[in-house]
Structure 1
Amino acid sequence: MHDYALFDPDTRAPEYPVPRGACDSQVHIFGDSQRFPTKPDAAYVVHQATVQAMLDMHKKLGIDRGVIVQSTAYGADHGALLEALRIAGPEYRGCGVVNDSVSDVELAAMHEAGVRGARFNFHPKLKNRMPSPEDVIRTARRVLPLGWHLKLHMNGLDPRTVTPLLDGIETPVVIDHMGPLQYEHGTDDPYFRHLLELLERGNWWIMLSNGDRRSVAGYPWDDARTYAAEYIRHAPDRVLWATDWPHPLHAGPIPNDGDLLDLLARYAPDERMRARILVDNPVELFGFATVNRGDDDRR
């Protein structure tokens, strides 16, 4: 296992106020190492990333809601995730790793705990542990009756080799981390054009995250703005935002999560659009209660 930089524990408040009901659509947590051991071949482990550390980070940002995504370090053992959801409370949802080892009884328990999605990770560091096409299709059919969304992490891959697997699936599909962009190609990047075509369909979503580590220009990562703005223009009702805390597999420098919220403000300068991305769209996808922002005292 490689050593990766730790998250910045000194979270600063963002420059722009965050609307009530704002959601961080992807974080990862690690449970107690004795009770929830990680896999021996885990690519990334950071036991400091506890659910309480995550909640403290969200409080400093003004974030009320979040989605805890199963770390690949635990495989399909969701014990740490389920405990984290219990601690975090009803304003948090989960996204699991589902394969044939997860029974229907376990799926039902995950749903009861707040899990609302299944993630497929095609990160190249997983090598032979990537899901097969058959895995993806079987899992999609199993979670469809639960109303779950599907989530694709396609870092380092041509997305056109993966996304056709879900052509016949009607459930929402979320593309992680702005997709596997190739900044050196600009907006003519064929990967980017493919993702925009997917967003023209009614069930594909995009998550605005990792703009910092995708950036070629470096801090303050303004070369990510063009891509994010195009995603927002194509599908304003199907765009999410996330910190991706604690920033797995990041060699550094690790961003401050307050800076990532300020980056969102540059992606979407209009306050109403940011509220749609942070509040309304997560309500639609994750099933949170609708927020009445008319008396929001954070403005």
Structure 2
Amino acid sequence: MSQFTPDADWLHWHLSPSKPAFKVPEGAVDAHCHVFGPAAQFPFAPERKYTPCDASKHQLWALRDHLGFSRNVIVQATCHGADNRAMVDALASSQGLARGVATVKATISDDELHALHNAGVRGVRFNFVKRLVDALPFDELNTIATRIKKLGWHIVIYFESQDLPDLYDFFTALPTTVVVDHMGRPDVTKPVDGPEFALFLKLLEENEHFWSKVSCPERLSVAGPNNHYADVIPFAKMVVERFPERVLWGTDWPHPNLKSHMPDDGALVDMIPKIAPTAELQRKLLIDNPMRLYWAD
């Protein structure tokens, strides 16, 4: 039995998501999801900011099949810190149908990096959301970036829109491909053509090594699920249409640390044609782009 009890306000992932009305194209990739534990096998990190419920690889594969996807990109969850064993275990059982994004420390050895590469890891994630980390990882990121570039890996960065002005110069100096989680968490109560989102669009426009995930409407929306997260659609649609070769989509299952509601993953899939309205855009978003980034070899 696990010694870890989920936080009292933790919302369990959806046990019976709907079957999406939108049929994703064959070969589609869920390019942002997680596994939690099981904690009895893969304990959570002592320094974690939240304690989740278990969300195993088998439950992730079941969701993948239910939604109609073919592959997954599993992003290391902050509750596991830099202990990537749960994620690597999932990759090992995926029969080549999953790739990973790890969390690593600057002290990691070259042998450990190569072992992660052989396991299917193709990127490293750094968290700049101040409420989720004790200190912003500037030094570690600089140290790691030059080392992972040799492996052909990319960097994933997670930040909030109000912090981008202070982080902009640091991010644009990074030497690898950079993937931004969830469009840099824009404030969707502000205009899509306003100055705050314009800075994020400038980041993509002027830096061709930057990509964006157009995921997590459930985290960004004020309108909420009853209004089908309608306030997020203009932002995501603009990014997809302006940068069709550099966008990714994912469920974010099992939706860590949400407080207001737990989304229906089938309903999230049904948002895809609203932000990528043509078959060509859908194919780039769901197949061509993630395959180029994660399965190039």
Q: Same fold, TM exceeding 0.5?
A: yes
Aligned residue identity for 1:152: I
| CA shift in 2, pair 1:101/1:287, >3 Å | same
| CA shift for structure 1 position 229 | 1.4
Which residue among 191, 214, 237 is the counterpart of 2:196?
A: 191
C-alpha distance in structure 1 between counterparts of 2:292 and 2:204, whole Å:
16
CA shift digits 1:67-108 (9 cap, x unpaired): 111111121111111111111220110001122232211111
SS of 1:88's equivalent? coil
Cα 1:127–1:109 shift into 2, 3 Å: closer
Give the counterpart letter for 2:98 in structure 1: Y
Shift of residue 156, structure 1, vs aligned partner? 6.1
Query: Aligned in 2, Cα 1:142/1:62: closer, same or farther, shift over 3 Å?
Result: same
Aligned residue type for 1:241: W
What pairs up with 1:229-268 in 2 under 5 angstroms?
A: 229-268=237-276
Change (3 A) 1:49 1:32: closer
- How do 1:44-83 and structure 2 match up within 5 A? 44-83=50-89
Identity of aligned residues (%): 35
What is residue 218 of structure 2 aligned with on the other side?
212
Residue 95 in 1 paired to residue 101 in 2?
yes
Structure 2 unaligned residues grouped into runs of 5+: 1-6
Displacement, 1:170?
Answer: 4.1
Residue aligned with 2:69, SS: coil
Give 2:35's match in structure 1, choosing from 29, 38, 45: 29
Helix, strand or coil at the partner of 1:166: helix
Q: Could you say which residue in structure 2 is the equivalent of 1:287?
A: 295
Question: Separation in 2 of the partners of 1:170 and 1:137?
Answer: 9
Show structure 1 runs of 5+ residues with no match. Answer: 290-299
Number of residue pairs the alignment of both structures matches: 288
Q: Cα offset for 1:24?
A: 0.7
CA distance in 2, matches of 1:278, 1:111: 23
* Whole-Å separation in 1 of the counterparts to 2:263 and 2:39: 26
- Structure 2 counterpart of 1:118: 124
Amino acid at match of 1:41: E
Moved more, 163-172 or 176-185: 163-172
1:120: how far off? Answer: 0.5
Partner of 1:18: 24
**Large movers: runs of 4+ above 6 Å:** none
Q: Could you tell me how far apart the structure 1 residues matched to 2:52 and 2:123 are?
A: 23
Shift of 1:238: 0.3
The residue aligned with 1:275 is 283
Q: How far apart in 2 are the matches of 1:41 and 1:57?
A: 29
Deviations 1:26-67 (A, max 9, x none): 111022323321123322333431000011001000111111
Aligned-partner Cα distance in 1 for 2:17–2:263: 10
Tell me by how many angstroms 1:139 deviates.
1.2
Counterpart in 2 of 1:144? Answer: 149
CA distance in 2, matches of 1:89, 1:54: 14
Quote the offset at 1:2 in angstroms: 5.5
- Answer yes or no: is the 8 Å Cα contact 1:282–1:288 preserved in 2: no
Q: Is the 8 A contact 2:39 2:54 kept in 1?
A: no
The separation in 1 between residues aligned to 2:105 and 2:83, in whole angstroms, is: 11
Do the aligned partners of residues 33 and 48 (structure 1) sit closer, same or farther apart at CA in structure 2, a change above 3 Å counting? closer
Normalising by structure 1, what TM-score?
Answer: 0.91
8 Å contact from structure 2 (residues 161, 184) kept in 1: no
Q: Indicate conservation of the 8 Å contact 1:2/1:43, yes or no.
A: no
8 A Cα contact 1:76 1:97, kept in partner? yes
Question: Aligned to 2:232, which of 224, 230, 234?
Answer: 224
3-state secondary structure, aligned to 1:44: coil
Measured in 2, the distance between the counterparts of 1:130 and 1:56 equals 35
Contact 1:158 1:180 in 2 (8 A): no
